[in-house]
Structure 1
Amino acid sequence: MFEDWRDVPLFTALSMGVASVEADVWLVNGTLYIGHELAALTKARTFDSLYVQPLLTIINNMNPKNGFTVGQTAPKLTDASDIVSGVFDMSGDTPLQLLVDVKTDGVQTLPYVLKALDPLRQAGYLSTFANGTLTLGPVLVIGTGNSPLEPIKALEPRDFFFDAPLTELSIPSNTTWSPDLSPIASTDYGVAVGWSGIGPISDAQRANITKFVHDADSRGIKSRFWDTPGWPISAR
């Protein structure tokens, strides 16, 4: 997972083959700015300039229209999706996971995020759930942080998904969480697991990790732990 405190977070991530990036988004006076903290915001660092427009350019360049490509059938990610190539030259059918970590009020910010994604939407580059079918595109956008659950559930078609709570997937009667709404589920590693990376991991801590991953996998959802130990490297 790459975050956006770097000068060019998207390009840095892609240069290392990272398939999941996170944009910390703040709505200020009608504009979406990028920064891990409020004090880090600058007028030049916007959601559009750091993520939307670069992604549009990259994917356009990955899908040139010439004598070799015009009239050809695009590769498929799933049986239901004829899509263009994604951001990775050697793995064109791998979607880039773009996590949008909403820092400001979720209900107020969501419409601005959806509007900001429109260039990618109009180009057909966003993964979309419509009419009971999930069609994967070059970019899979997932809301986290203050992203509001109910407005996202109500989207039809839905090309902005919700990061589910990983620690709340074990209740069979809870039918809210499915991969059509939440392709991933996340939790704070330090709180949910507790192992600092120093010394051996306990059986109980290992069992917690296994349980959370199993709960997500049983629903067809991928699991994500954030704030994992930074040191030693072997602990990661």
Structure 2
Amino acid sequence: MTMIAHTLATGSTVVALLAAPQTATAAPAAETTAELGAPLAQAHAHNDYEHDRPLLDALEHGFTSVEADVWLVEGELRVAHDAWELAEAPTLEEAYLAPLAGLVSPNGKQLYPGHDGDFQLLIDIKSEGPATWAAIEEELAEHKKFITGYHQGEIKDRAVEAVISGNRPLADMQAATTRYSFYDGRSTDLASALAPQFMPLVSENWTKLFTWQGVGEMPAVERETLHQYVETAHAAGYRVRFWATNDIAGPARENLWTELQAAGVDHINTDDLPGLQEFLTR
């Protein structure tokens, strides 16, 4: 068996990672490099795994949140959008956890050097909730050095906060006295009084609450609704994210992003990494 080396560049520092032993018939893993960009607190990579280099491309553009769709397949956690892609899909360990392990600071408390903010790993469960979450917890626990954890009411803050979306097993997560992931709520949870130590994030389909997609002025009533929504979430200690926002490059998307930024939305959703980076760094 051979060991395949991956190199990840963090500024001038190159970190070597050793992948799991490969079988004789396995194709050798390609060498990859990533130079971390300046961190952007509002940048969220929707369906990050669909980029040429999952995680690494987002980090080069300064993203502080990435989304991975995960399926439990014969005991393995595979990252893919659709079931038909699973046979060739990387595992959660390969695409995210192992690279993060090589990039975080030695004490596990920072990903971007000098940046104290958390990096969010949003894990969207696509398969059956309880079993998939249990498998996710096992893998996260193996990386507890840099994964934020909860134990009997106490939070141990680390560089990466894993948040569970999709098929979220609410009862199982609430019952856990120790866990390494947190709950992604919905708009209906804003008044739930769930502790932000359990539910730090509230995500919602933009089109469920709003009709405007950036063309012309945002209707005053919708702007007021957006600001009130964000203020309510922040007062309860929750971050805010929307999906299904207009992500077609052009003036309409720019208008929408401007309104999201002005309202204080914490995570702006996009598939266009350079586009959002350019918008947020003007």
Tell me the TM-score range normalised by the shorter chain. Answer: 0.7 to 0.9
**1:129 and 2:150 matched:** yes
Hey, what's the Cα distance between the residues in 1 that align with 2:246 and 2:78? 28
Q: 1:212 to 1:167 in 2, by over 3 A?
A: farther
Match of 2:239 among 208, 222, 236: 222
**Deviation per residue, 1:195-234 (Å, 9 max, x gap):** 1111221122112211221221111111111121113331
Equivalent residues in 2 for 1:69-108, closer than 5 Å: 84-91=108-115, 93-108=116-131
Hey, what's the Cα distance between the residues in 1 that align with 2:80 and 2:214? 28
In structure 1, the partner of 2:218 is 201
Match of 2:143 among 105, 115, 120: 120
Q: 1:226 to 1:155 in 2, by over 3 A?
A: same
Hey, what's the Cα distance between the residues in 2 that align with 1:39 and 1:50? 18
What SS class does the counterpart of residue 20 from structure 1 fall into?
Answer: strand
Q: Is the 8 A contact 1:190 1:227 kept in 2?
A: yes
Q: Is the 8 A contact 2:109 2:146 kept in 1?
A: no
Hey, what's the Cα distance between the residues in 2 that align with 1:54 and 1:148? 27
Hey, what's the Cα distance between the residues in 2 that align with 1:218 and 1:189? 20
Identify unmatched segments of 5+ residues in structure 1: 64-82
Q: 1:117 to 1:24 in 2, by over 3 A?
A: same
What SS class does the counterpart of residue 32 from structure 1 fall into?
Answer: strand
**Deviation per residue, 1:7-43 (Å, 9 max, x gap):** 3221111111100011100111111111112223244
Q: 1:28 to 1:84 in 2, by over 3 A?
A: closer
In structure 1, the partner of 2:52 is 7
In structure 1, the partner of 2:178 is 157
Hey, what's the Cα distance between the residues in 2 that align with 1:211 and 1:40? 40
Compute the RMSD of aligned alpha carbons: 1.6
**1:33 and 2:74 matched:** no
Q: Is the 8 A contact 1:144 1:163 kept in 2?
A: yes
In structure 2, the partner of 1:180 is 197
In structure 2, the partner of 1:212 is 229
40-49 vs 139-148, greater mean Cα deviation: 40-49
Q: TM-score, normalised by structure 1?
A: 0.82
Q: Is the 8 A contact 2:122 2:165 kept in 1?
A: yes
Hey, what's the Cα distance between the residues in 2 that align with 1:16 and 1:208? 31
Aligned length: 208
Q: Is the 8 A contact 2:109 2:157 kept in 1?
A: no
Identify unmatched segments of 5+ residues in structure 2: 1-43, 258-282
Q: 1:30 to 1:84 in 2, by over 3 A?
A: closer
Tell me which stretches of 4 or more aligned residues in structure 1 moved more than 3 Å: none
In structure 1, the partner of 2:253 is 233
In structure 2, the partner of 1:168 is 189
**Deviation per residue, 1:86-133 (Å, 9 max, x gap):** 110241x22210000000110121111111223212xx2111223433
Q: Identity across aligned pairs (percent)?
A: 28
Q: TM-score, normalised by structure 2?
A: 0.69
Give the CA deviation at 1:44: 4.9
